[in-house]
A and B are shown apart, each in its own frame.
Chain A
C-alpha cells in the first residue's frame, strides 16, 4: 500500500513568490496535518484538516493557508515567500479516530527560498 505521498519533493522559489505543496494521505485516512521543519529543529505544527474542515491551526501567519479536497488530499499554500520559509514541509495522515496513536508522515517537500 502506498504511504503518504507529497509533491514536489524539492523546489526553489524566490522571495515574494507563491508556492503550492500537495499531499495524498494513506488510502482510507480522512485527516491530514501539515508541519514545517526548519533545518536543525523539530517539526512545527501548521494545520490539521478532517473531512475538509480545519481542526487546528498553529502559530503561523495568514500567508499560510491550506485546504482538503473530497478525496482527502490536501494542499498547503504559502504566499509572499520569505527567506525564513525555507524548510522541509511535512504532511501527515491519520485515520480520524483519535484513539489511534499513530500519525503517518510523508518524506516532505524541501522548499528553498532565494
Chain B
C-alpha cells in the first residue's frame, strides 16, 4: 500500500485558514487522494478527495501538487468544531463495485484555539 506522511499535530486559531500537508511520494497513477477527519468519540467523516486537479467543496479545498507527490488540505476559516484528527489516505481505483480499503495512518491532530 502506498503510504502517506503527515505531521503529528498542528495548531490554529479560530477563523484563520489552516493548511494541512501530506506527502505521498510513492503514489501511483490510479491512486485517489482522500481526506477524512475524526472528531472525538465519532467515526471518521469524509472531507474531500481528488485525483489530479484541485478540488473544492463546502467543507474544504484540496490542492494537489503537479507531480502528485504531495497535497494540502485547506480549511478556509477554522472553527472550534474543526478540531479533529485529519487523515490523508491513498485509495487505489479498484473500479466497478469495489470501493477498496482505506489505509489510515496516524493522522494530524488539529487543535483550534478560540
Report which A residues bind B (CB closer than 8 A). 4, 30-31, 33, 35, 41-45, 48, 50-51, 55-56, 58, 90, 92, 94, 96-98, 101-108
Which single residue of chain A is at the shortest CB-CB distance from B85? A42
User: Given the complex, which residues of A lie within 8 Å of B41, measured CB to CB?
Assistant: 107
Chain B residues touching A, majority SS:
loop
Is A50 a contact of B43 with CB atoms below 8 Å?
no
Query: Which residues of B lie under 8 Å from residue A101 when comparing CB positions?
Result: 32, 34, 46, 49
Structural contact, A107 and B104, CB atoms closer than 8 A: no
Q: How many residues of chain B have a CB within 8 Å of chain A?
A: 27
Neighbouring B residues of A30 by C-beta, 8 Å: 97
Q: A42 near B46 (CB under 8 angstroms)?
A: no
* Neighbouring A residues of B42 by C-beta, 8 Å: 107
Please name 4 further chain A to chain B contacts, defined as beta carbons within 8 Å, in addition to the given A43-B104, A97-B97, A103-B44, sorted by A numbering: A43-B102, A58-B101, A92-B43, A98-B99
Asked if residues A48 and B103 are in contact (CB atoms below 8 Å), the reply is no
Contact B97 A51 (CB under 8 A): yes
Q: Contact at A48–B98, with CB atoms within 8 Å? A: yes
Does B93 count as interface, using CB distance less than 8 angstroms? yes
Q: Contact check, A103 vs B46: say whether CB atoms are below 8 A apart.
A: yes
* CB-contact partner of B43 in A42, A48, A106, under 8 A: A106
* Residue ID in chain A nearest B91 by CB atoms: A101
| B96 interfacial contact with A, CB 8 Å | yes
| CB contact list, B15-43 vs A, under 8 A | 32, 34, 36, 41-43
Contacts of A106 in B (CB 8 A): 43
